[in-house]
Every structure is written in structure tokens, then in C-alpha cells.
Amino acid sequence: MIKKGIILAGGTGSRMSPITKAINKQLLPLYDKPLFFYPLSVLMLAKIKDILIIVNKGQVEQFRKILPDGKNLGIKITYAEQEKPKGLPDAFIVGEKFIGEDSVALILGDNFFFGQSLTKKLIESTKLSKGAKIFLYPVKNPSLYGVASTNSKKKIINIVEKPKKTKSNLAITGLYFFDNKVIKFSKSLRTSKRKEIEIVDLLNKYKNEKQLSAEIIGRGGAWLDTGSIKDFNNTSNFVAAIEDRQGLKIGCIEEIAFNNEWIKKKDVIKAIKFYGNCEYSKYLNSIIN
């Protein structure tokens, strides 16, 4: 059972410069919440309560201003600094002490997930005891992504990075579940031409041992990358449209904690006082009354 999760919230955010010269991208507002609330909410929906957030050097205090240690959500938040971006698998090297002898989930701090059956898929994925599982999403332009091909048993048979031609349209998203071997595998990776260790190389180690499976986010679900200004704005507009139509919030971390019975009404009231007079506070007030 996976009970620990990592949010990789470092990186330079160069595609969104000059905005990201002043602030970590994951702290930027995606509609009415900081971007990192959304990946945090995904881990919380998976019932993961022990979470490490990896940020750039010197940025921990920026995050602690809004989320000190997770006690307000009934969870445990730990922070770690990454000296410089070294590739996604570096999260498991930076987080080695946090992971210990446990299995772990990883979600990228700029990825957005949404869907009616998402929570069920997440909880099912935390039951992983051996190997690794990745989340895939069908896209119309697979040449822009890492792409995986699967067999009838949802086992990965092939992974290609940004293929010019491919029969598969299943993009590899920024959500992964790994057993404890992920630390050893990550340490054994060689740096690529980009001078980073690559997530595809890590996944291939599991694939070669026939221990890499997939969960597919189908119709009714959404996976959006917020890496560029255009994608960031499109995702923000998506959240605004859904919330406006349904009257329900996406990525409301206090609501998830309250529904999971990790916090009580008095804790939600404290959150309302902390956030002040805003629409987010009004929504929190509505869920306890």
C-alpha cells in the first residue's frame, strides 16, 4: 500500500518567463488557487497523507506561508530543496530519506487531473505492492509527448519519447506509482544529452523486468499540462468553466480533508479566517453549513 507521495515543484519555469523569475511557477494562481493545490489534491484523493514537496533552492518559505506543515489538513507536509533541475527521477534521490523503505507516488507540480472516476483509479493504484504504474491519456498529437503502447492486460510493451510516427496515442502523464526499487534504479541512471536523468529511462528499467503497468484516463477525464502560458491559461479557463457551472470547486484541499474526516468543522473555520474575505472562503463556509 502506497502511503507516501512526492510533489516535484522545482524547475526553472523558463517557458513562462519573465513571470517565473520572481516566483515559483507552482505558486502562480490557476484560476482561484495556487497551482500546487491541484496536484496536492490528487494525492489527498488517493488517501496519501505523508507528502514531500520538492522546491527550488531558497523557495521553501514561499510555500510555507500558505502551507506550513499540513496539520491544518490532517496530513504531514515535508519540504526539500533541489539544488538545480536534474531530471524527474532526481526526486527519488532527493527524497530518499523521506521514502525510506516504502513505496511512493510522484506527481509533477504543474500537472492537472480531473475526472469523475479519477478517485477510484487513484485509490486502486495505491494498492501497488510491486513494480510501477503510470497514468496514460489519449492525445491527438502524440509526437509532443512520451508515448506508451500497452497490451490487453495493461502492461507496457513499448515507450517512445516524442515519436515522429506511432500507432499509440497514449501520452505518459506526470503521475506515477513506484515500489521501493525506484531509489536504486534512479541512482543507476546515466545522464542524457540534456545533462539530466530521464523518467523514460527509469520507466524502461521497470518495463524490462515486466513490472510496468498502466492506468488509462479515458473519456470523461482530463489531463492538462500547464507548462506554457497558453496551456496555463487554458487550464485556468477550464477550471473556471467547470466550477462556475457546477458550483463545486476543483482542488479544494480543505474540502477533501473534511470529507476524508481528517479535519473537523473547527479546522475549516480556521482556514476561512486564514484566507480572509474571498470566494474560496465563502465556498469553505458552504461545505460546513
Q: How many CA atoms lie within 13 A of 153 on its CB side?
A: 5
Question: Cβ(8)–Cβ(54) under 8 Å?
Answer: yes
- State the pLDDT at residue 219: 83
- Does 241 map to a domain? yes
- Does 262 map to a domain? no
Question: Cβ(224)–Cβ(231) under 8 Å?
Answer: yes
- Does 286 map to a domain? no
**pTM to 2 decimal places:** 0.95
- Does 283 map to a domain? no
- Does 130 map to a domain? yes
Closest by Cα among 125, 284, 288, 143 to 217: 125
What CA–CA distances, in Å, run from 64 to 111, 144, 162, 275? 21, 34, 36, 14
Instruction: Report the percentage of the chain scoring pLDDT > 90.
Output: 78
Task: Give the pLDDT mean for 25-36.
Answer: 94
* 216-237 tens-digit pLDDT: 998 889 999 888 899 999 999 9
- State the pLDDT at residue 39: 98
165 Cβ contact partners less than 8 Å away, ≥ 6 residues apart: none
Residue 263 has pLDDT above 80, yes or no: yes
Q: How many domains does the chain have?
A: 1
- Does 275 map to a domain? no
- Does 14 map to a domain? yes
Query: Residue 246 is part of which domain span?
Result: 4-135+172-251
- Does 104 map to a domain? yes
- State the pLDDT at residue 74: 97
> Mean pLDDT for the chain?
93
What CA–CA distances, in Å, run from 60 to 9, 35, 65, 125, 221? 10, 15, 9, 29, 32
Which CATH number covers residue 22? 3.90.550.10
- State the pLDDT at residue 189: 95
